[in-house]
Amino acid sequence: MELKYDFLVIGTGLGGLSFALKAAEHGKVCLISKVEMEETNTRYAQGGIAAVTYEPDSHAKHVEDTLVAGDQLCNEEVVKMVVMEGPDQIRELIQWGTHFDKQSSGKYDLAREGGHSEYRILHHKDNTGQEIQRALSVQVRKHPNIDLLENHFAVDLITQHHLGKLVKRHLTNIECYGAYVLNLDTEEVFKILSKTTLLASGGAGNLYSTTTNPTIATGDGVAMVYRAKGIIENMEFVQFHPTSLFNPGESPSYLITEAMRGYGGILRNQSGEKFMNKYDSRGSLAPRDVVARAIDNELKIHGHDFVYLDNNHLSGKELKEHFPNITEKCRSLGIDIAKDKIPVVPAAHYICGGVKVDMDGQTGIKRLYAVGEVASTGLHGANRLASNSLIEAIVYADRAALHAVQNVPEYQFADRIPDWDITGTTHPEEMVLITQNLKELKQIMTNYVGIVRSDLRLERATARLEIIYRETEALYRKSKVSLRICQLRNLINVGYLVIKMAQARKESRGLHYNLDYPKSLDIKQM
């Protein structure tokens, strides 16, 4: 089977949906999601979306906060562009039906998170992502020019490689003609040929044992581009959210939004000490890399499994009003957050690197765009400022849509693309071969390539990963293609890139902390 579209969009979070809505005004769009459209990383974003709204905030302050959080590795031109264009995109979100909380005066109720010098986070209670996802999903489902294929998984991008042409890594003339897509209901792989393709496939939190990401975050976009010989960068910068709810066995880990610290929540160790003051003068509201590393250190020094987030300065009424979902979630576990402190631990949350794109969201592969967490735009540098990701996704989706719409008339559909080759493949007899390798991968990444790394840990990770890479490739070649084996293969590709890029960075910077290149963090790191 073969389908043809002007625009193929892989992924249905904020980046994918907003691009689809704009592109659909100019041509036919196919939107694919490997599960149902609403299950995305966007949906799990609690805190909100950062944009300059009222004085005393200013573009200059938002730019400065982003550059400081990014440990001076951000692309300043990109930072300025996103900060300037952000407010217009917020207006579009509102026009599409998104509700942000307002004060009784009618002004938006702005929150503050780590690393922000001003109150600038627009939010909807403590489930902003869910509200954005809801509003855009409604628009997409009723758009006549958008065909939505749920339970469809992009296995690989189609490039010249599939025409039997030799493609060398980093050649400038690689082109994307669409994707091979697995229908998860019929288990058949078919071709979607497109004039342009957008990757909006999210992150890869499932590389780690503990993550705030939903199970779908398996690095599919980065892995596909890597295999298609595109350019990937900055993968060493994996952001751990400092505060996920400590509730062993729960996956994904439940996020405790940083906005709680913005409202004055204080981190304490199990002895009750406000330990953050030892690490950074900004205390509990220091940028995420600093806070996650400090918590990690406290846990290792004291041999504890969690620290506490103390919100006792707020009344039960205030907590319920601002954080109704967290209040309810904790209550279901017997924690009354008006009286009890919340046990929290860091969890893998966001990958700052990804597919390298220019300021129009174009990747190094022609006709292929990337937006959202899968992309590396230069906005985040070595550490993403809280709530800067949704604004990045929507600004880049807008730019990519504009660029793709202008260029699509130049492109033809590729012909003579072969069907997916299933010769000699069978269902893997033992699922344990996949599940065990996934477990091992997560352990390797968590223990050796987590918040604190060392040259020896990275070396060990490389040697261990090599074994599971070879085993999984061998299994993949003889297996009928399935979601589980593809996701494992993608995670292994992404894990490899994180390790290699971590080894290449001979310094500690932002989210990449290597004990062999100590930084002036006054407390000894373990």
What's the token pair of residue 345? 């631990």
Query: C-alpha angle 310/314/316, rounded to 5°?
Result: 105
Q: Which one, 114 or 230, has the nearer CB to ligand SIN?
A: 114
Question: 29, 74, 345, 324: which is closest to 200 by C-alpha?
Answer: 29
Q: Which one, 47 or 202, has the nearer CB to ligand SIN?
A: 47
Binding to ligand SIN in span 303-342, by CB under 6 A: none
Q: Which one, 176 or 307, has the nearer CB to ligand SIN?
A: 307
Q: Which one, 389 or 508, has the nearer CB to ligand SIN?
A: 389
Q: How far is the CB of 313 from ligand SIN (least distance, A)?
A: 19
Q: How far is the CB of 345 from ligand SIN (least distance, A)?
A: 14
Phi, psi of 486 (to 5 degrees): -65, -45
C-alpha span between 114 and 284 (Å, rounded): 8
Contact 158, 178 (CB under 8 A): yes
Q: Which one, 22 or 123, has the nearer CB to ligand SIN?
A: 123
Q: How far is the CB of 391 from ligand SIN (least distance, A)?
A: 10
- Sequence-ordered strand ranges (E) for 422-462: 452-453
Binding to ligand SIN in span 388-417, by CB under 6 A: 389
Residue 292 binds ligand SIN (CB under 6 A): no
**Residues in CB range of 119: below 8 A, 6 or more apart:** 57, 110, 111, 112, 262
Unique residue bearing structure tokens 């694919």: 32
What is the DSSP track for 159-219?
Answer: -GGGGT----TT-TT-B--EEEEEETTTTEEEEEEEEEEEE-----GGGSSSBSS-TT-S-
Active site residues: 288
Q: How far is the CB of 50 from ligand SIN (least distance, A)?
A: 8
Binding to ligand SIN in span 33-62, by CB under 6 A: 45-47
Q: How far is the CB of 73 from ligand SIN (least distance, A)?
A: 18
Binding to ligand SIN in span 415-454, by CB under 6 A: none
Instruction: List the beta bridge partners of residue 197.
Output: 8, 368
Q: How far is the CB of 11 from ligand SIN (least distance, A)?
A: 18
Q: Which one, 389 or 525, has the nearer CB to ligand SIN?
A: 389
Residue 387 binds ligand SIN (CB under 6 A): yes
Determine the residue with CB nearest ligand SIN. Answer: 47
Q: How far is the CB of 412 from ligand SIN (least distance, A)?
A: 40
Residue window 337-366: x/- pattern of binding to ligand SIN, with contact defined by CB under 6 A: ------------x-----------------
Unique residue bearing structure tokens 């071969």: 433
Unique residue bearing structure tokens 């000699």: 424
Q: Which one, 347 or 485, has the nearer CB to ligand SIN?
A: 347
C-alpha span between 127 and 416 (Å, rounded): 46
Total residues at interface with ligand SIN (CB under 6 A): 10
Residue 343's identity, in one-letter code, is P
Whether a cis peptide bond, with omega within 30° of 0, leads into 252 is yes
Contact 74, 234 (CB under 8 A): no
Contacting range for ligand SIN; rule: CB under 6 A; set: 19-27, 164-172, 188-196, 385-393? 385-393
Q: Which one, 160 or 383, has the nearer CB to ligand SIN?
A: 383
Contacting range for ligand SIN; rule: CB under 6 A; set: 54-62, 65-73, 381-389, 513-521? 381-389
Q: How far is the CB of 116 from ligand SIN (least distance, A)?
A: 11
Residue 71 binds ligand SIN (CB under 6 A): no
Residue 98 binds ligand SIN (CB under 6 A): no
Contacting range for ligand SIN; rule: CB under 6 A; set: 139-147, 158-166, 384-392, 427-435? 384-392
Residue 259 binds ligand SIN (CB under 6 A): yes
For residue 286, CA distances in Å to 43, 56, 65, 116, 258 come to 25, 21, 11, 9, 11
What is the DSSP track for 66-101?
Answer: HHHHTTT-S-HHHHHHHHHHHHHHHHHHHHTT----
Q: How far is the CB of 113 from ligand SIN (least distance, A)?
A: 6
Instruction: List the beta bridge partners of residue 159.
Output: none
For residue 12, CA distances in Å to 41, 80, 130, 200, 372 come to 9, 27, 13, 7, 11
> Using CB under 6 A, which of 101, 220, 258, 298 touches ligand SIN?
258
Q: How far is the CB of 361 from ligand SIN (least distance, A)?
A: 20
Residue 63 binds ligand SIN (CB under 6 A): no
Contacting range for ligand SIN; rule: CB under 6 A; set: 34-42, 290-298, 358-366, 382-390? 382-390
Question: 40, 42, 347, 43: which is closest to 211 by C-alpha?
Answer: 347
> Using CB under 6 A, which of 257, 327, 462, 482 touches ligand SIN?
257
Contact 394, 18 (CB under 8 A): yes
Element (DSSP H or E) covering residue 9? strand 2-10
Residue 386 binds ligand SIN (CB under 6 A): yes
Contact 241, 212 (CB under 8 A): yes
Which residues of the chain form contacts with ligand SIN (CB under 6 A)? 45-47, 257-259, 349, 386-387, 389
